Amino acid sequence: MDMLWSGWGDPAKAAPLPETVTALLRDLLGVKPRGTAPLALTEIAVPEPPLTDVARRALADAAGGEEHVRTDAESRIRHTRGKSTPDLLRIREGDVTDLPAAVVLPASHDDVLAVLRACAAHGLAAVPFGGGTSVVGGLAPERGSTPRPFVALDLRRMDRLLALDPVSRTATLQPGLRAPDAEALLAAHGFTLGHFPQSYEWATLGGFAAARSSGQASAGYGRFDEMVLGLTLATPEGTLETGRAPRSAAGPDLRQLVLGSEGAFGVITSVTVRLRPLPKTRIYEGWRFASFEEGAAALRRLAQDGPRPTVLRLSDETETFIGLAHPDAIGAEDAQDAQPAGCQAVAGYEGEPEEVAHRRERAAAVLRECGGAYLGEEPGERWAHGRYSAPYLRDALLDVGAFAETLETAAFWSRVPELYAAVRDALTAALTEAGTPPLVMCHISHVYENGASLYFTVVSAQGEDPVAHWTPAKHAANEAILAAGGTISHHHGVGTDHRDWYLREAGPLGADALRAVKRRLDPAGLLNPGVLLPLD
């Protein structure tokens, strides 16, 4: 099934906010109901596709038939932008300025090459489309002074397991596989990827690679880019294949050129990944720390000296109080009883029973030594049950007139406290000055020996023009991230929203090197224009 066109995920899983939460938003943040209801899909005015008959036939020939080129209004609306809060607010108002001319569904690497040739021949741009879960403007190409139509290159037909090597513990999969389907295919052979980001239910393997995704079990399984052993890339100039061994000293690793390229250099048509055996035991538990600082020190101790849990995360005082560690329980009668004072941490362990028991016992000793109080398995299991629910909560907040958005970053451990304070203060100051004082929450959800990520959630009233209202606050947060030594994105990617700050992070020479790669692989600039790099 397709994602909800005006929100996140499965419409059947959407739920209204409890009245207690709506009242809290009204009293605490001044949230008011929207003056007008969002448009229905059928109410959105959609222009005729700017596609000639000749171009349409060329695309159909490339994709294997007319049925694989869709120009109906609904298909085009469902492929307009991604799922950031500004994206959703704009589409709910009927803004279709980023509407694709057509949705094209290739079924193979050769199909993708043929579609790119057809696009080049007929003056079309192409935007690779996996699960449609981008939250940084990664699916909204810039049009420039001489805009050209673009097609959404939907990869859903490329959804097969191509090869599995149980001896090497590797698998080669097509990019349009959604994560749950990939896990089911691998589980039939006794394996798992271990990659479970919040977008897990909808995102695709190609999207994970293109955006350098990081899953919620990254402490144990690693980031997705660490799992990738090889990639095949279709470009307007031909095929690029990378990765013929687990490690190599044969020059720079071209896999790293493709990972994180967000469709600007080419279309990922297959990905080879390393696998892990399916865990026989999964245990999640909760811990309490008196302060975010104390909890972060405990996480650093485990990340640096071990033993490292499979899942390790820490909510700050505000996020703990609100209960965002398990958003499906917010507003429930017993919700406040479930929230300890201070900061809540979740530690999860997966693997063989004996190994899990040993690692859990040793980690518990470290957490207690660092000031942690054991809360039992219930908080951890509750988090695991609701780990994919937060985007649905965001939609419910939008429905009642609140603004809710997320942003994330990462830094070395010594910079984490400064980064945390700088971003929180920047968001608070910008939105308070605009007349909508916010609630700013944060958690650490990915840890490394040398640093960690910070994931912020912001809730406020929407203001008269919610998108315009948010933009200065987002820019202030981006500036604070760079000034405090953080990276502009740990796992959401660059897109168009982060592009200008990404180029500053890369530096002038680094940006020029990326432009040189773009010119060689995509000389006509037809792939995802303006994403990652600005239009020339």
pLDDT category at 334 given cuts 50, 70, 90 is low
pLDDT category at 333 given cuts 50, 70, 90 is low
208-257 tens-digit pLDDT: 999 999 999 999 999 999 999 999 999 999 999 999 999 999 999 999 99
Q: What is the DSSP secondary-structure string of 254-275?
A: THHHHTT-TTSS-EEEEEEEE-
Instruction: State how far the Cα of 76 lies from the Cα of 84, in Å rounded to an integer.
Output: 18
- List, in order, residues 6 or more apart from 431 with CB less than 8 Å away: 437, 438, 458, 460, 473
Instruction: State how far the Cα of 476 lies from the Cα of 431, in Å rounded to an integer.
Output: 10
Instruction: State how far the Cα of 98 lies from the Cα of 100, in Å rounded to an integer.
Output: 6
3-class secondary structure for 372-392? CEEEEHHHHHHHHHCCCCHHH
- The predicted structure's pLDDT at residue 143: 82
Task: Indicate the average pLDDT of the chain.
Answer: 95
Kindly tell me if the per-residue pLDDT of 329 is higher than 70: no
- Does 232 or 146 have the greater pLDDT score? 232
Answer whether 423's CB lies under 8 Å from 447's CB.
no
Tokens linked to 509? 């020479």
- The predicted structure's pLDDT at residue 34: 80
Answer whether 69's CB lies under 8 Å from 121's CB.
no
Kindly tell me if the per-residue pLDDT of 50 is higher than 90: yes
Runs of H (alpha helix) within 166-271: 179-187, 205-210, 218-221, 224-227, 255-258
∠ CA 490-496-502, nearest 5°, is: 50
Show the beta-strand stretches assigned E in 309-369: 311-315, 343-351
Which domains does the chain possess? 36-154 (3.30.43.10), 161-277 (3.30.465.10), 281-385 (3.30.70.3450)
10-43 tens-digit pLDDT: 999 988 898 989 998 999 999 998 878 889 999 9
Kindly tell me if the per-residue pLDDT of 398 is higher than 60: yes
* Termini Cα distance of the chain: 38
Tokens linked to 66? 């007319």
Side-chain half-sphere exposure of 347, counting CA atoms within 13 A: 30
- The predicted structure's pLDDT at residue 156: 98
- The predicted structure's pLDDT at residue 185: 98
Q: Which residues of 371-408 are buried (b: 16+ CB within 10 A; e: fewer)?
A: bbeebeeebbbbbbebbbbbbbbbbbbbbbbbbbbbbb
pLDDT category at 324 given cuts 50, 70, 90 is confident
Instruction: State how far the Cα of 258 lies from the Cα of 268, in Å rounded to an integer.
Output: 8
410-451 tens-digit pLDDT: 999 999 999 999 999 999 999 999 999 999 999 999 999 999
Kindly tell me if the per-residue pLDDT of 48 is higher than 90: yes
Please give the average per-residue pLDDT across 266-291, as a whole number: 98
Show the beta-strand stretches assigned E in 37-124: 69-70, 102-104
Please give the average per-residue pLDDT across 521-533, as a whole number: 96
Answer whether 77's CB lies under 8 Å from 46's CB.
yes
Instruction: State how far the Cα of 38 lies from the Cα of 125, in Å rounded to an integer.
Output: 30
Please give the average per-residue pLDDT across 286-296, as a whole number: 98
Instruction: State how far the Cα of 305 lies from the Cα of 308, in Å rounded to an integer.
Output: 8
Please give the average per-residue pLDDT across 51-71, as a whole number: 98
Q: Which helix (H) or strand (E) holds 119?
A: helix 109-121
Tokens linked to 208? 């994970």
Tokens linked to 54? 């000749």
Answer whether 86's CB lies under 8 Å from 475's CB.
no
pLDDT category at 331 given cuts 50, 70, 90 is low
Residue written as token pair 């406290």: 417
- The predicted structure's pLDDT at residue 339: 54
- The predicted structure's pLDDT at residue 354: 97
How many other CB atoms sit within 10 Å of the CB of residue 2?
A: 13
How many other CB atoms sit within 10 Å of the CB of residue 73?
A: 17
Region of residue 532 (left: phi > 0; alpha: psi -120 to 50; beta: else)? left
- List, in order, residues 6 or more apart from 233 with CB less than 8 Å away: 239, 240, 241, 242, 258, 265, 266, 267, 268, 269
193-208 tens-digit pLDDT: 999 999 999 999 999 9
Tokens linked to 251? 């020059």
91-102 tens-digit pLDDT: 999 999 999 999
Asked which of 186-190, 334-338, 421-425, 496-500 is least confident by mean pLDDT, the reply is 334-338
Kindly tell me if the per-residue pLDDT of 178 is higher than 70: yes
Kindly tell me if the per-residue pLDDT of 105 is higher than 70: yes
Please give the average per-residue pLDDT across 99-125, as a whole number: 98
- The predicted structure's pLDDT at residue 147: 81
Pairing of strands 150-154, 102-104: parallel
Angstrom distances, CA of residue 427 to CA of 185, 351, 354, 420, 439: 43, 40, 45, 11, 9
